[in-house]
Structure 1
C-alpha cells in the first residue's frame, strides 16, 4: 500500500531508502538520520524488532523524522513518549504484534497517516479518536468487532480502511467524518450500513464486498461525489436503491440467496428487504388511498420545525431519524417528499438492469420508495428519469 507524502528527498536520502531495504544495520540507519537531517524517512522494515527503537524517543534528536516504515517486525507496544517524534507524519506498522496504543499518541499533532494493518487489535483503540489530525487510517486484517461512536471526531479523515475484520455494525456517527473520501469495509460481518453515510458529501469510493448485507441506505445514490460503489459477494442483497440507477457499481454474486424469512418481502415476483426504519409499507396490491400513520405525520411535522424544537430530548432513534430521514420519494414528478417510517414500495427490473448489475444477475432488482399511491402509480408508468 502506498502512502503519499509531499516531502522532498535529497539524492542521498533517496539512495538510503534502497540501502535500508537491503539490510543496513540499525546503527547505520540512525547515524544517517542524525548526520543528514534532510533524510526524514526511516526504513525499519524486516529488522526483527521486538520493541520500538527506544533511541528514537529517549531524546529529541529525531524530532525531524517525518516517516517511519516498520513493517514485518515483532513490536508488541509503542513507547509512552512516542509523542516526542513531533515531526512524524506517517507511521507504518503493518504486520506487527500490537494490540493497544499509548494514550500519549493523541499528542502527535503532526501525524496524518497511520497503518496498523495485520496486527492483533480486538478493540478499536479509543485514543485514535483523539488523533484529530489523522487523514489516513488503515487497520485491515485485525479482529475488530465494533467501532466507538467517537469515530465521528475524526473530521479530517479522508481514508478509512477496515477490511478483513469482524465488524458487525458501523456507528451512525461515521456520518460526522465530513472529509471522508474512501471507505473500505470489505470482508466483515455487516448486515446493514447506517443511513448517515448519505451525509458524507465528499465520499468518492465505498467498498463493502464480501459481507452479509441485506439492504443499502435508500439515498446512497444521492451522494454528489460517489464514483465507485462495490457491494459484490453479498448474496442476500437482492435489491439496490433506485437512487443508484445512474452510478457505476459492482454487484456480482448478489441476489443469489434469499434474505431470512422474517425480513424478506415479495412484491411482483421479486423479493428483498426494506430498511428497518420502514414499519409500514404498501405495494402494487394497494387499491385504496390510505392515510399516513400518526408516527409518519408526527415525524414529518417535527422535521420541518426541528430548528425551533428540542429534538435532542426525544429518544435517540427518533432524533436520529429526524436528523437523517430514511428516504425521499422518487416519483418522476419531482415530489421528493421525505419518508420516515412508511412508504409505498415497488421492486422493478428494467431493460438496462443487466448492464447495471455488471454480472447479468436476473435475481437483482431496484427498490423504489414513494410517499403515496399517486406517486407510486406515476413511478410505475415512468420509472426511468428523463
Structure 2
C-alpha cells in the first residue's frame, strides 16, 4: 500500500496533476511524499476523506500553496494548525466528522474561502475573526456543541447560508442572520439546570440565553454606559481613525491583547454599527419564515436577538426597517 501511494503521488508530481484522490487509504499520517522537495505546486484539489489522520503538517500551505479545495471529511483530526491560514487560494474546506475542539484563529486569513464545513466535531465556540472572511458564502457547523455564535456573524453580505442544526445548547441567533438561509433544527431543545445562572431574558413563552461573551446587559432604565465601555469605544474610534500610522498610539503603550480586541470587538450595534465591547441592549424578535422554514416550525426555540449600543437604538431598531 505504501509503495502504491508513493507511486500515485510521484505520478501526480511528474504529470503536474491538479486533482489528487487519496480517499479510503487507511492513512494514519499525512503522506510525507506530498511534502517532499517543492511539494506539489500545481495541485489544486486534495481529497483525503475517510482515513485515520490525527494531525496536519504545519508546512502544508508552503508545500501545497495553490490548493483551492481541501477535503478531510471523516478522519480523527484534533487540531488544525494555524498555518492553514496561509492557504491564500483556498475556496473550499471540508473538515467535518473529526474531533476538533476549536478552529484556528488565523483561518480568517484565508481570504478566498467560500465554503467551510465543520459538521460533527466538538466545537464549543466560533472564532470571532471568522466573521471577517470577505468571501465566505456558506458555513455549516451542524452537530457540534455550540452555545453561542459571534454577534457579527452574517454581517457580511457574502454569507448567505448558515447551518447550525443539532447544536442543542444554542439558544439564540445573531440578527444579522435574519434574512439568510438558516438551518437550526434541533437547537435549543434542552435546558440544563446549570443554564439558569446564564444571562437570559424572556418574551412570552420564548426564553433566549445570551452568549457567554456578553458581560453586561443594559435595560431600558439604564441611560449611562459604564466608563469601561465608553473608554473602549473611544479608543476604538481613535485607533481606526489613523490606521496607516503605526506610531500614533505608541504613547499609550497598549497591551497586545487590547490592540487585538480593538481589531475585533464583541459586536456592532444592529441599528447604527457602533462597536460594543462589554455592554449591550438586547431586543428579541420571533423567528420569521425563511426558505428553510420547514426545519424550524414546532421543533426549535431559537429566535433572533438584536444587539444595540444604547436605549435610543434599542427603541428605534426594527428588522423590517
Shorter-normalised TM range: 0.7 to 0.9
SS in 1 for 2:284: strand
**Aligned ranges for residues 130-149 of structure 1 at < 5 Å?**
130=62, 131-149=64-82
Root-mean-square deviation over aligned CA pairs: 2.7
Q: Deviations over 1:221-257 (max 9, x none)?
A: 2222222211111111110111111111111111102
Q: Deviations over 1:118-145 (max 9, x none)?
A: 1121112222132221111111111111
Q: 1:151 to 1:50 in 2, by over 3 A?
A: closer
TM-score by length of 2: 0.85
1:97 paired residue number: 26
Give the CA deviation at 1:101. 3.1
Give the CA deviation at 1:292. 3.0
Q: Conserved in 2, the CA contact under 8 Å of 1:126 and 1:148?
A: yes
2:275 paired residue number: 338
2-side partners of 1:353 and 1:55: how far apart? 50
2:134 paired residue number: 201
1:71 paired residue number: none
SS in 2 for 1:220: coil
Q: Conserved in 1, the CA contact under 8 Å of 2:287 and 2:302?
A: no
User: Which structure 2 residue ranges, 5 or more long, are not aligned?
Assistant: none
Larger radius of gyration: 1
Give the CA deviation at 1:219. 1.6
Write out the 4+ residue segments of structure 1 that deviate beyond 6 Å after TM superposition: none
1-side partners of 2:14 and 2:212: how far apart? 47
2-side partners of 1:141 and 1:351: how far apart? 34
Q: 1:108 to 1:368 in 2, by over 3 A?
A: same
SS in 2 for 1:126: coil
2:269 paired residue number: 329
2-side partners of 1:106 and 1:178: how far apart? 24
**Aligned ranges for residues 1-386 of structure 1 at < 5 Å?**
49-52=1-4, 62=11, 65=12, 84-85=13-14, 87-98=16-27, 99-102=29-32, 103-104=35-36, 107-130=39-62, 131-258=64-191, 260-261=194-195, 264-269=198-203, 270-276=207-213, 278-283=214-219, 286-294=220-228, 296-306=229-239, 307=243, 308=245, 314-331=254-271, 335-349=272-286, 352=289, 358-360=295-297, 361=299, 363-379=301-317, 383-386=318-321
SS in 2 for 1:166: coil
SS in 1 for 2:85: helix
User: Which structure 1 residue ranges, 5 or more long, are not aligned?
Assistant: 1-48, 66-83
1-side partners of 2:9 and 2:124: how far apart? 43
1-side partners of 2:7 and 2:154: how far apart? 51
Q: Deviations over 1:57-90 (max 9, x none)?
A: 77xxx5xx5xxxxxxxxxxxxxxxxxx5361211
Q: How many residues align?
A: 305
Q: 1:243 to 1:263 in 2, by over 3 A?
A: farther
Q: Conserved in 1, the CA contact under 8 Å of 2:153 and 2:174?
A: yes
Q: 1:105 to 1:220 in 2, by over 3 A?
A: farther
1-side partners of 2:312 and 2:294: how far apart? 29
Q: 1:309 to 1:342 in 2, by over 3 A?
A: farther
Q: 1:348 to 1:264 in 2, by over 3 A?
A: farther
Q: 1:316 to 1:88 in 2, by over 3 A?
A: farther
Q: Conserved in 1, the CA contact under 8 Å of 2:182 and 2:290?
A: no
1-side partners of 2:88 and 2:49: how far apart? 21
SS in 1 for 2:59: helix
1-side partners of 2:42 and 2:4: how far apart? 19
